[in-house]
Chain A
């Protein structure tokens, strides 16, 4: 029973504290506290490398109901710094399930917490903004913990992408006939994106974030995919050269999330930190070209800046293609002349709705059109 279990505390940098019980691995977890409103897909969220450095709070109160398995991970292991739920199911029920959430967190050393009034916590973050925090045993003195929280580096200026990128290149062969060869720049890529490309007939070469430009230019590629990833895009400088050089040669470039921000920055755009980010699976995004609305999966704390005229600030070569209907932020852009486009959200879903899978097809069409 949760009532008897080990008491734990979530302490935020502004001093607000939430009590609950320990879940997963024992110890202290530090990170930026963000909330995610998805009602399903906790395993995909836990394993999403974009959550590196963050303590994720699930707003849906009953988590772990269908367990975890060896198929739904977006990377090899959980990537979050910590995990907070209202309640973790002590058992799971699903023909796909293999272990309980608690077992999984414990086995992977993830410090987590249950029993928290996650709605109060969410409302606090919503009104005060995402902030640093720690999960720790409740008996750890609060002042000591607060010091550790304040000593933890804030998200701005952090290059976390290199830390989660693959150490060495690896390839995925095309499913069926190979139609294209795509280079995927890994800044913390979710497994689903290269897999979709492979399923659509692309051979995918996933490259580490620190791959030198010369190596990239030597690869014979039909397209460049710039992945999602954690941290502040302003701190990630390596992709710029490849985006500019390949697109100048007429090689299509497609970016997602951090990749989208890097593309914007490569052409002069600016990025900034949102108050509490977008993390969930229900944001409406309008595709300006058709006027249709997509329900999208979102996970980002930074965004590309827009100017008063609804243009991409500082990047006249780029045009706005998608806009968030919740807060009007930039959700997609395209280069006016080069075969470059990107979206802030996650068309690969996992977790989330599949409304935007067309973007991968669009990438393939572009590669087809640009084939030398």
Chain B
């Protein structure tokens, strides 16, 4: 069946902001889908609120709507664009739920839009656990026994039969939000309540506990002619009980015999047919009892997923691309295998390597959160490693995780590995609770000689994996005690996957020493191809991983070429924005006639799609791994300033090894990062910086802070995302900081800056070739100074800065660029108070806001920067000097507070995972859109506003509350705020805080009587009742505002929502200056 001719235009839903459970993988799948559909000649319409994505690049779709992913806003787009079809399977759970909501409301039928890829009936059957359980029974497959409950009483009846531990899974939530494991009645009651609240249909599934069973996933693709293939099998290292997103996973499955694997494959095919997935990819999870092989179907996702992105990268089979083609009618055998190009896509990839995926966590950002892993996903990113053996991939994976370990090595002390003591009982006790440190605890346990049986009993991890780990420990012991290192021994260790750094540490040598010896002996990395067919056919696609085998398959790429270093696993402070920049750089360099080589280890990303750069090395971003690639390829140079801190950290060692760094010099980076040298730079350009100092000890810090005056902003040197950054108000706070948050040392001192209170902040992104400077955009933060720039909402163009202030910032930015000799991107952060402009930071690299600026102004800064780095001048590129924004763009941050039981107050430590953009003609409407897109839709219709603010904010809040009152809101206020408001004549009613009497604020929130909450903390440490109130707001989805400026903006937004038309407009139209009809 060739492609369908009866549809001409297709709308694709993206997945919105990056949140835990939904990350770059949907930018990857959506981008593939857009490319796949456009090359077939369909008109494509994209909706996504996330400006940091590649897919929202205006070139990728015919119409790109950066609008909220809510039924109301998407309906406006459907009304305007009238697409023939909607593809709901590329944007994760967000897109699937949204498509179903549009279907249920009759919107799709009204506008004559057909769902393609998956129909409503199949989605319903796969997503509704009850319907799915019934479907499985029809085809003779078992699901973990249990039942559905819509109330606590129903749940209690079910658990009587199921017994403990029991698993609670809310229906229709993302990444297991609200789920849990209960070991006793009390936990069960709590978790059922939470689960019912989390589920949009107030339903939870109580599962039979299969904790400790083996967990597998199959990635399955079906076409419209009922051809079904299994693209990849995945085995979880961590058994059932740990969410698959938080598990270390391995492809292909390692411990299934063919008999068992085929049984699973048969089941997967039967499930695809029964659920009736029409055309596209699905992910099916199985639990297998290790004692007798009993197999249960855990769940299926009728869409592309994180696992399918992983499977695509692990096999070279582009599931989303193929899925999009199947959705418009093609059959698998009509599509080519893009890697071999001579064989069709109707086959099952075979691997001749092992893939290990390791999740990356961010508990250091949420110290109060529970780090025990369970059925609710908590990781924020992941890295993937490919090796010829499990052990070499495993080592590479830990290298690629970028957590300061040179492979699978234990921490410097027990605490780093989450341990109190190292005796066998303590080790086993720790191992029973899965945490991010468990792999390192396992190593300590193996080194202590604990048996595989004990370790298996404690962790449920398959003995085969444990034996592989034991082999690594044995190999280390062997190498450590060799009388001398021979070339054969060294080659053996490299083949086993050890890094030079690890080998150096094993024998008390220096890393350089090991590297020099290795090179002298001619032991270099070889590269093998990911080819989908285990070498059976020649591969046309250049997708490589390193090994130490007999034969190297990678011949250096011909022509002038540039290496771009990616950003590694996502983490808070470094995510999709930098992948966007790297992909843009590939485009820019290709336009300029260069060939591009991408190095990255993040399987979710667009940059690791094998058809983005001319060549892809799927490798960890370490000095050793990058140097081996450089040695082979001998590029013109390396770009380090687009991938965030990861490549930036490599700049100096690479330069010292003689690698040409393109763009801004390492010296200039150092001048901007080193606080002392930076102060000198500021003196030279005449910029004002807050009083500051550096301290390596608490005594020195006391001295510095005493001199410059409190409050002070303290942070370790060389960090991104405000890691361990804090505002300290007094000496006691300073001492606490030194004891709890950092380990300062002469090499790693703490930076201390005077904190400029009550200031506005602004960010400038600029591009320079060392002679000319282009200001990309000036963004004004909505939150006050003190909130990390990544967490603050911001607006472009600024609405509260004067022309003089903006000119001054432009001038300073130019001077910094020229003084530092910036070639490429530059980001400057300013604080403005009482007309004085302070410079907070100068970062000679891509900033997190580069994609936002690019979408708002239409100037692709990162792409142009890459060309400038490769030698072109700003003049020649013809970039407008001060790009105009067609309208007002607001960026809003999105936080993982629904995942972690932590306080929601913002501070200098970045905690947001993603961002959204709202763009419209007015600030109010743009802010309203951004709020809606961030899942914080403001109450347009009015209702009850609860106000509880500290004394400092009381004067500021008064006019804001008055505006809300004028808008018809009922005002409830806590005692102090209430007194203040009534004294000033604003009619407000008193509401109890927690502990003052019932019903209190939390009761009112729970019973749905509150539509908006304004709350600022009452002191340095928030009181428990404030915390309970903000948590209740999160749980019950009540929009909350924790700063005065945000409260004021919300007021503007509600006015705009009421007074202006709710219009949508594509980026293409905006940027072309097309007026609305």
Contacts and interface: CB of A to CB of B under 8 A. Distances in A.
A65 B254 CA distance: 7
B255 A65 contact: yes
B533 A93 contact: no
A325 B673 CA distance: 58
B823 to A, nearest CB: 41
A87 B550 contact: no
Contacts of B293: 95-96
A282 B348 contact: yes
A122 B536 contact: yes
Contacts of B255: 65-66, 93-94
B257 A126 contact: no
A200 B696 CA distance: 80
A295 B229 contact: yes
B540 to A, nearest CB: 15
B462 A349 contact: no
A333 B315 CA distance: 33
B550 A18 contact: yes
Given A40-B257, A122-B352, A325-B347, A93 B464 contact: yes
A349 B263 CA distance: 12
A350 interface: yes
A333 B534 CA distance: 29
Contacts of B474: 1
A90 B467 contact: yes
Given A91-B467, A96-B259, A352-B258, A126 B536 contact: yes
A77 interface: no
Contacts of A39: 252, 350-351
A94 B258 CA distance: 12
Interface string A69-92: 101100000000000001101111
B258 A292 contact: no
Interface hub of A92, A123, A293, A349 (most chain B Cβ within 10 A) = A293
B844 to A, nearest CB: 43
A22 B252 CA distance: 26
B233 to A, nearest CB: 8
Contacts of A118: 352
Contacts of A119: 352, 388, 528, 534-535, 549, 551
- Chain B: number of interface residues, binned into ranges: 35 or more
Interface in B788-810: none
A353 B551 CA distance: 32
Contacts of A94: 255, 257
A229 interface: no
Interface stretch (A55-63, A143-151, A152-160, A234-242): A55-63
Contacts of B688: none
A41 to B, nearest CB: 3
Interface string B450-486: 0000000000001110010001001100100000000
A258 B258 CA distance: 23
A293 B464 contact: no
A287 to B, nearest CB: 10
A141 interface: no
A90 B253 CA distance: 18
A126 B227 CA distance: 28
A40 B252 CA distance: 10
A326 B343 contact: yes
A181 interface: no
Contact of B533 (A37, A60, A72, A350): A37
Contact of A126 (B259, B346, B488, B537): B537
A89 B464 contact: yes
Interface in A156-213: none
A182 to B, nearest CB: 24
Contacts of B390: 62
Nearest to B533: A37
A324 B634 CA distance: 42
A292 B225 contact: yes
Question: Among B353, B533, B534, B551, which residue has the most Cβ atoms of chain A within 10 A?
Answer: B534
Interface string A37-55: 1111101100000000000
Nearest to B333: A293
B350 A93 contact: no
Interface in A1-48: 1, 3, 18, 35, 37-41, 43-44
A119 B353 CA distance: 9
Interface string B478-508: 1000000000110010000000000000000
A61 B353 contact: yes
Contact of B551 (A87, A120, A281): A120
A41 B258 contact: yes
A87 to B, nearest CB: 6
A38 B587 CA distance: 38
Contact of B257 (A62, A72, A284): A72
A260 B536 CA distance: 24
Contacts of A354: 262, 265-266
A133 interface: no
Given A119-B549, A122-B352, A325-B344, A87 B389 contact: yes
Contacts of B551: 117, 119-120, 123
Contact of A120 (B389, B538, B549): B549
B354 A62 contact: yes
A57 B647 CA distance: 40
Interface in B373-415: 388-390
B1018 interface: no
A60 B351 contact: yes
A40 B262 CA distance: 10
A93 B462 contact: yes
Interface in A287-301: 291-293, 295
Given A59-B352, A60-B351, A65-B464, A95 B292 contact: yes
Given A59-B352, A95-B292, A282-B347, A86 B257 contact: no
Nearest to B532: A282
Contact of A60 (B256, B350, B489): B350
B709 interface: no
A291 B463 CA distance: 44
A286 interface: yes
Nearest to B492: A3
A95 B473 CA distance: 26
Interface in A313-372: 325-326, 349-354
Contact of A37 (B257, B350, B550): B350
B258 A325 contact: no
Interface in B289-343: 290-293, 331-333, 343
A292 B343 contact: no
B346 A62 contact: no
Contacts of B349: 282
Contacts of B538: 126
A231 interface: no
Contacts of A284: 333, 343-344, 346-347
A119 B386 CA distance: 14
Nearest to B352: A59
A43 B261 CA distance: 14
A280 interface: yes
A283 interface: yes
B344 A86 contact: no
Nearest to B344: A325
Given A119-B528, A120-B549, A282-B349, A325 B535 contact: no
Nearest to B261: A40
Interface of A: 1, 3, 18, 35, 37-41, 43-44, 59-62, 65-66, 69, 71-72, 86-87, 89-96, 117-120, 122-123, 126, 280-284, 286, 291-293, 295, 325-326, 349-354
Given A91-B463, A93-B464, 20 more contacts: A3-B488, A40-B257, A41-B258, A60-B252, A61-B353, A65-B255, A87-B389, A90-B467, A117-B550, A119-B388, A119-B528, A120-B550, A123-B553, A280-B536, A283-B347, A286-B333, A292-B225, A293-B333, A295-B347, A325-B346
5 contacts: A1-B478, A61-B352, A65-B464, A93-B462, A282-B533
Q: Which 5 A-B pairs have the closest CB atoms?
A: A41-B258, A351-B258, A93-B464, A59-B534, A120-B551
